[in-house]
Amino acid sequence: MEHSLTNATARVPAKSRLKPDTFPIHDVTCTVKSNEQINGEYYLLILSAPSEILDCRPGQFFHLLCPSKGGGNPFFRRPMSIYGYFPASGELHFLYKVVGEGTRAMAQLETGEGLKVLGPLGTGFTIQDGWQNLLVVARGVGLATLTPLAQEALQRGLNLTAICSARSPEMLMSVDRFRELGANVILVTDSEGSSGVENLERMIEAQIAQSGIDAFYTCGSNRLLKLLQRLGAQHGIPGEIALEQQMACGIGMCQCCVRSLRRGGKIIHERVCKEGPVFDLQEAMEW
Amino acid sequence: MVDIAVKLGSVELKNPIMPASGTFSEDLAGVFDLDLLGAHVTKTVTPEKRIGNPTPRVCEVQGSMLNSIGIPSKGASHFVREIIPVYEIFSPPLIVSISANTIDEFARICEKVSVPGVAAIEVNISCPNIEEDGKAFAMRPSTTLRVMKGLREVTDLPLWAKLTPNTGETPDVARAAESGGADALVVSNTLLSMAIDVKTRRPKLGNLMGGLSGPALKPIALRMAYQCAKAVDIPVIGCGGIATVEDVVEYLIAGASAVQVGTATFTNPMVMPHLIEELRAWLFAEKFQSVNDLIGSVRDDEAADSVVFMEAAP
């Protein structure tokens, strides 16, 4: 699989990369269409966005300039993975959980207010030609990151199974969205005791035996990473993972968002904002 | 039409706005036309490959940031082979930032990056000198003089010394850099700082401490730029906390001939092209014909040297 931007950019002639006819990264003010709490923990932010920023790839993100609201004054922008992009209706969706100063400020945004967004940024997921059966395994807000991938896979007529994990059934979000898109959804929760690694492994093994799996996709959990790495190695199934890291610039300049990866027998560093946030599953390291 | 071109010794800039080292790379070409800038300044490169510091490498403090990136570098050979040629396509002068742990290594990398395509070398002497006591070269006049003399011998390119605020001897360090052969001073690098998470009681940076940059640093770096402009005859380039056109104008009045913009680009990647247009508009509104008439125009005629060069708050 190909997702290193160093390689990707090497194929692009310098002229079009360094002096593009249109700049691929946009810094624009979008208008808040709605920003609502959809259950105890999660908010859905819907922005009215110009078409030029909606030419996105699943797995990419935007860098949001959170407002100084609610007593907070976040300095850096906040990277936020895309929950949905809809060029036809001119909408950009983010699903987020309030965890700190930035997201607390975001939660204060009201309909009609502006929000500056920079993007789309980063290198997204890849689906290789010929793949038929994809498996998404994610937990909590990580499911949001994988939703655009499900949308693309299902639009391309591929089969997609989504194992959605959460603390309790009430916490499961994105599930309706996965169903709407036509994914085969399997719910597992901690409260029902179905989200344990052994149970997940049984389910995935069954899926492999039944219809076969061409690729794994996941996001944000060490436990799932380890499980999928093991199963991927055993069965020769490739995979990708979206990783997070604190960011400053978001476009590759500051070198703050690096993560360690295993490649060619060595440990290397790559930027989550540029070569990532999507990396090869087997190269990813626990954190 | 207001003239906003400036000359920094032999280096001519079509406007006085350029990026600060470490906050810029060709990646910014995805956002705007990099030919708009007065100059391009690359991230500091070291002689050998360096991996950089542990994460978290940055944290935010009220209205500003700390960083301990730790100069990850692919080494000088990679830089000369792969990075310098990238900038051939652009018209602004290319300024290459270098650093090293010893005077010898500094001289070697200086020689190595003195190649066609490079307009000047920015000497990041804010890093520790491991031959002495680990204090940054630019903390003391003696080490500043020695390292600049060492570099002057090995290159004909203009040398810009980047000073540190982690010193109590700013005017003397500035004069030492000038005597050592510096063609301009960049004032300044970040200020050593710390932040602790009160819940976990862990320092917020993986490297415990790091450099403060952003608006909080501005009054300190502005004071240094002012003192340096008074102390030396070579041009001073202001750097520290610039985010608005008023910040740019303030540094120019203080005596800086050009400015570097860093941290502001992280939150507003379009800030530099905006500042160029806003500076032009400001000068026009204030009826200046040339930016050069503003440089060093601070009204301090009565101030005695002892006041201008003071090294502690009165």
**pLDDT of A172 over the 80 cut:** no
Per-residue pLDDT, A1:
37
Per-residue pLDDT, A4:
40
At residue A97, the 3 state secondary structure works out as strand
**pLDDT of A7 over the 50 cut:** no
Alpha-carbon distance A237 to A198, whole Å?
Answer: 19
Per-residue pLDDT, A268:
94
Per-residue pLDDT, A238:
98
Q: Is A25 on the interface with B (CB under 8 A)?
A: yes
Residues of A within 8 A of B55 (CB-CB) are 245-246, 256-259
Name the average pLDDT for chain A.
91
Could you give all domains of chain B from N- to C-terminal order, each with its CATH number?
6-308 (3.20.20.70)
Per-residue pLDDT, A12:
64
Alpha-carbon distance B278 to B233, whole Å?
Answer: 28
Per-residue pLDDT, A5:
40
The fraction of chain A above a pLDDT of 70, given in percent, is: 95
Count how many pairs of residues, chain A against chain B, have C-beta atoms within 8 Å.
106
What pLDDT, in 10s, does the model give residues A193-251? 999 999 999 999 999 999 999 999 999 789 999 999 999 999 999 999 999 999 999 99
Residues of A within 8 A of B34 (CB-CB) are 18
Residues of A within 8 A of B82 (CB-CB) are none
Could you give all domains of chain A from N- to C-terminal order, each with its CATH number?
19-121 (2.40.30.10)
Name the nearest CA neighbour of A32 among A105, A97, A121. A105
Facing residue for A65 by CB, picked from B57, B265, B267: B267
Q: How far is B73 from chain A (nearest CA, A)?
A: 10
Quote helix, strand, coil % in chain B, to nearest 5.
35, 20, 45
Per-residue pLDDT, B174:
98
A31 near B45, Cβ under 8 Å?
A: no
Average pLDDT (A185-197) is 91
Q: Is A20 on the interface with B (CB under 8 A)?
A: yes
Residue A39's pLDDT band, with cuts at 50, 70 and 90, is confident
Alpha-carbon distance A59 to A81, whole Å?
Answer: 7
**pLDDT of A10 over the 60 cut:** no
Q: Is B228 a catalytic residue?
A: no
- Regions of chain B with pLDDT less than 70: none
A10 phi/psi in degrees, rounded to 5: -60, -30
Alpha-carbon distance A91 to A53, whole Å?
Answer: 10
Average pLDDT (A69-79) is 88
Residue A8's pLDDT band, with cuts at 50, 70 and 90, is very low
**pLDDT of A2 over the 90 cut:** no
The single residue listed with the structure tokens 């599930």 is A175
Average pLDDT (A51-73) is 92
Name the nearest CA neighbour of A41 among A170, A193, A192, A138. A170
Facing residue for B89 by CB, picked from A19, A251, A254: A19
What pLDDT, in 10s, does the model give residues A99-144? 889 999 999 999 999 999 999 999 999 999 999 999 999 988 889 9
Per-residue pLDDT, A11:
54
What's the whole-model pTM score? 0.94
Alpha-carbon distance A159 to A133, whole Å?
Answer: 5
A188 near A164, Cβ under 8 Å?
A: yes
Q: Which residue of A has its CA nearest to B270?
A: A27
- Residue B52 and residue A255: Cβ atoms within 8 Å? yes
Strands A133-139 and A215-219: parallel
Which tokens sit at B78? 């990679």
- Residue A27 and residue B51: Cβ atoms within 8 Å? no
